Each structure stands twice: as C-alpha cells, then as structure tokens.
Amino acid sequence: MQQAFHLVKPRFTPPLEEGYRPPALANRAFIKEVQESGQGVPLVLGLERADGSVSRFETQVFAEGHPRSDANLYYAERLVKFLLWQRGGWRVYVGGPKSIGKHIAASYASDGPRAFDYHFMGEDVYEHTFTVVSCAASDVPAERESTQPLGRHLDGYRIGFDLGASDRKVSAVVNGEAIFSEEVVWEPRKNSDPAYHYKEVMTALKTAAAKMPRVDAIGGSSAGVYINNRVMIASLFRGVAKDRFDEVKNMFLRIRDELGVPLEVVNDGEVTALAGSMSLEDNGVLGIALGSSEAGGYVTMEGNITGWLNELAFAPVDYSPEAPADEWSGDQGVGGLYFSQQCPFRLAAKAGIELPSGITDAEKLKVIQEKLEAGHDGATKIWQSMGIYMGYSIAHYADFYDLKHVLILGRCTSGRGGTLILDGANEVLRAEFPELAKRVNIQLPDETSRRVGQSIRSELVGGRI
C-alpha cells in the first residue's frame, strides 16, 4: 500500500533525518495525479462525535479498478488518522470506493494496526464502540459543526495553571496582570497513584491562592483530551491503572467542588490559540505548544473554539517508512515525535550528544538547550530540523484548518531554538508553498510567554465572574 502511494522528497532536507517525507507534498502530488487521470471519484469522510456533531472532509481518489487504485488505501488511511486526532469521532463514515471502506474498517478494528485509535476514540474519549461505516459518498451525513466562545475574561482574582510532563506551572493573576508565577519540576508519568496528581495540582493552586485576597476563577491547561472538565486521555496519566483512571478523569471536578470556585480545564493548545487571538486582535489562529508533547488549539475565523480534539501529537506529519514509531500509539511519524521535547531526545545521538542517565526529562532538555545556546553544531541541527518539519507541517495543517496565524511556543521554543524553528518554517513556506506564505503569519510570543506564560494565559479560559 505505502509502496503504491508515491512519496515526494522535500526541497529542504532536515540535516539529521534525510528520509523525512512530508505529507503536504505527497498528498498534493497524489491529488494532482488523480485529477490528471480524468478518472477520479469523490471520497467523503465523515466523523461523528458523542454530541451528534459531524465533521466532513472531501477529496478525490482513483476509481475502483483503476491501475493506481491501490494508492488510495494509504492516502485515505492517513487522512482518517489525521482527522480522528484533529476533529475526533467515534463513528467514521467512508463515502467512496468500497475497497477504501473495507481497508479503513480493517485498520481501525479492535485487533487491527490502529487498535490504539479504536480503543481511545471509542471507549476512552467518546464512550461508544468505535465504528466504521462504508457507504456511498452521497450517504455521508451533512456537516453539523458546533462552536462556542471560551473565556477571554481578565477581570478579578484568577489562577492559571499548566500541567506538563516535566513541570507544572501556576500563576496568580489580578485583572489580567500576573503578580506571581511558579514553575515546579514533577514527574506525573512515572507516578501511578492518582493521589500524587491530585496533591501536586492542589499544592500549586493553593500556593497561587495564598498570593491574593480571594480567588474568583481558575483556568487550566494540559496536553490531552478534556471534555467538560473531565480527563478523557492524557499522556500525563499514562502510569495510572485503568481501574483507577476514574479518579483522574474526575479530578478537576473534585478540585472545583472542594475549592468552591469556577474552574475550566482545556487542551493547552486551545489556550495558546485563544491568547494569540486576543493579542493579535484577529482570528483564524492555530496554536502549537511544543512542550512535553505537541498540543494544538484552534480559534475559528469567527473567534470561537470548536468541539474538535486538536490533539496533533497523534496526527501524522511524516510519511517515511523509516519514520520513528510513537511508543504509546505504536504509529509512525506522528506529531509528538517532531514537535515536543521527544524530538531533541530522539535526535540527540545523531547530533553527537550523549544524555546523562538518571535525570528528569526537564533536565535532559536543559542539557541539549545549553549546548544549543553555546553554538554546538549538532544541537543547532536538531532545531534546524524542527524548523523544516514545522514549515512542511504547517502546509499540511492548512489543508485541515482555515488559517491566518500560527502561534508556536512551549519549552522547546526557548532561546535560539524558537528563532531556528521560526526561520526554518518561514523558509520552507516561502519556497515550497508561496501562496500559503502570503496569507499565513507564523510567530513566537515573547521569551517569558514561551515558558511560564502558558500558565498565565490559562486563566483566560475561566468564565465570567
């Protein structure tokens, strides 16, 4: 299947990963080939979520029986994978050639190669049995999207917090101005007791609360899927046994009730996008947080957030058959391996950097970043590679999001790293996707905001008081 689908070598090659093959180039080449064949047929993908909302994605593929129809399978499967983690869904409609529907159903089965997605999208996130429906393109349900405003309130005494895999950050904010911020190293992934996570979060909140006469609202963010303030999936809590996960799932509801204060928790990418929209005084913003994992968030052209997952850590950004595999999902070439601290970690050996054993992930990243600031050639190549990944991936993201701005931040963008990523991404867009470069602005926030600023921005998600 992958052999039938033609990959395209990029004009810009990441210096530490010559085999990298961007989806944006391969997908565009495939669609062009289909169109030029004169034998293209519609492929309509529909994704239904628990609230009845439906997302649609429309494209073209080769007709059944065409000599190149085998290429349809890889193309369609990677689209479904991206859409599942961008938009979410427990039921997927595959409207098009029957061979594609059959292939998607087999891939996303309980015992298929995408069993991880089957279980997480079905049982864990949407609490339904994951289902693939193969049908005619005309039978895919009409789009039913819902959006809503979120936060944007600055008044009063507020707490913002951000939970990463390496550190937890908290800020006390008065009428939009941070009067206290704290960053504490912790290791949530290595702790299996939900009481550890509860204690750490409560400690952070009480520390910030002590800096103000009262607390009016709390806003929080973290990588993962959060629905109605419940933790549906998050790598932070991977160590918690399934039979105790409800303690984590409902942790923020418990904290809200115990503190007696309005509390909202969302994906940290949503906070990034929301803050970017406010600071830019514009909409159509994709926020990408490069921290312990990759988090995405999106503010629509109308200034609202969607009911989508935007969990881009699991969305494919590299089609190379040699792409690294994610240790959790088992899938290759997904975003978290390219846009988080996992990228410097996996490229360190290629860059000639030996990481000490027995230290935390935060300390590992610090070691590599110190070498970067000192001008280490290998460390520089790591972030140059990330800049190239970012440029091609933004072009890929633009096929799924209506964009005007991309805001990138997080621990991996501190210091020289942020500039290298930004410069590399812009160079790729200008050369390979000039029309996109003209209409999409990529930017970094100020240095402070790239790190602890996430906790300050998190208070924006709190409701009106």
DSSP 107-128: HTSTTSTTHHHHHIIIIIII-S
pLDDT at 276 over 70: yes
Which amino acid is it at 316?
A: P
Q: List Cβ<8 Å contacts ≥24 apart for 205-211.
A: 205/159, 205/161, 205/170, 205/255, 205/259, 207/170, 207/182, 208/159, 208/161, 208/170, 208/171, 208/172, 208/180, 208/182, 209/159, 209/172, 211/172, 211/179, 211/180
Residues 182, 87, single domain; the answer is no
Question: Is residue 76 a part of any domain in this protein?
Answer: yes
pLDDT band at 405 (very low <50, low <70, confident <90, very high): very high
pLDDT band at 271 (very low <50, low <70, confident <90, very high): confident
Per the DSSP assignment, residues forming a β-bridge with 135 are 95
Tens digits of residue pLDDT in 280-325:
889 999 999 898 889 888 999 998 888 898 999 999 999 999 999 9
Question: Is residue 105 a part of any domain in this protein?
Answer: yes
User: Worst-scoring range by mean pLDDT, 180-184, 266-270, 389-393?
Assistant: 266-270
Residues 240, 283, single domain; the answer is no
pLDDT at 138 over 70: yes
Question: Is residue 225 a part of any domain in this protein?
Answer: yes
Total-model pTM: 0.85
pLDDT band at 345 (very low <50, low <70, confident <90, very high): very high
Which residue among 81, 110, 145 closes a domain?
Answer: 145
Phi, psi of 82 (to 5 degrees): -60, -50
Q: For residue 3, what are the contacts with CB-CB under 8 A and spacing of at least 6?
A: none
Residues 438, 296, single domain; the answer is yes
Residue 233: domain span: 148-268
Alpha helices by DSSP H, 87-192: 98-107, 115-119
Phi, psi of 118 (to 5 degrees): -55, -50
β-strand pairing of 177-185 with 167-174: antiparallel
Question: Is residue 123 a part of any domain in this protein?
Answer: yes
Question: Is residue 311 a part of any domain in this protein?
Answer: yes
Residue 384 pLDDT? 98
Residues 168, 226, single domain; the answer is yes
pLDDT at 63 over 90: yes
pLDDT band at 379 (very low <50, low <70, confident <90, very high): very high
From CA 355, how far away is CA 299, in angstroms rounded?
38
Which amino acid is it at 130?
A: F
Nearest to 46 by CA among 158, 135, 173, 177: 135
Residues 282, 418, single domain; the answer is yes
b (16+ CB within 10 A) / e for 261-297 = bbbbbbbbbbbbbbbbbbebeebbbbbbbbbbbbbbb
Residue 448 pLDDT? 46
Is-contact 223 293, C-beta < 8 A?
yes
Residues 379, 234, single domain; the answer is no
Q: Tell me, what CATH number does 383's domain have? A: 3.30.420.40
Residue 446 pLDDT? 65
pLDDT band at 331 (very low <50, low <70, confident <90, very high): very high
Residues 231, 281, single domain; the answer is no
pLDDT band at 24 (very low <50, low <70, confident <90, very high): very high
Which residue among 268, 287, 322 closes a domain?
Answer: 268
Q: How far is C-alpha 50 from the chain's CA centre? A: 20
Residue 60 pLDDT? 98
Tens digits of residue pLDDT in 76-114:
999 999 999 999 999 999 999 999 999 999 999 999 999
* Portion of the chain with pLDDT greater than 90, in percent: 71
Which residue among 268, 297, 325 closes a domain?
Answer: 268
From CA 148, how far away is CA 127, in angstroms rounded?
22
From CA 222, how far away is CA 235, in angstroms rounded?
10
pLDDT at 128 over 90: yes
Per the DSSP assignment, residues forming a β-bridge with 162 are 169, 221
Question: Is residue 410 a part of any domain in this protein?
Answer: yes
Residues 358, 444, single domain; the answer is yes
User: Worst-scoring range by mean pLDDT, 60-74, 163-177, 252-266?
Assistant: 163-177
User: How many domains are contained in the chain?
Assistant: 3
Residue 1 pLDDT? 57
Q: Residue 402: in which H helix or E strand, if any?
A: none
From CA 330, how far away is CA 351, in angstroms rounded?
25
Residues 432, 446, single domain; the answer is yes
Residue 278 pLDDT? 76
Residues 124, 187, single domain; the answer is no
Q: For residue 459, what are the contacts with CB-CB under 8 A and spacing of at least 6?
A: 158, 159, 160, 171, 173, 217, 218, 219
From CA 419, how far away is CA 214, in angstroms rounded?
39
Residue 151 pLDDT? 54
Question: Is residue 177 a part of any domain in this protein?
Answer: yes
Question: Is residue 85 a part of any domain in this protein?
Answer: yes
Mean pLDDT of 194-214: 95
pLDDT at 173 over 60: yes
Distances (CA, A) of 185 to 122, 138, 166, 182, 360: 33, 52, 6, 10, 9
Residues 299, 406, single domain; the answer is yes
pLDDT at 451 over 90: no
Residues 55, 135, single domain; the answer is yes
User: Worst-scoring range by mean pLDDT, 145-154, 288-297, 309-318, 340-349?
Assistant: 145-154
pLDDT band at 153 (very low <50, low <70, confident <90, very high): low
| Average pLDDT, rounded, for the chain | 91
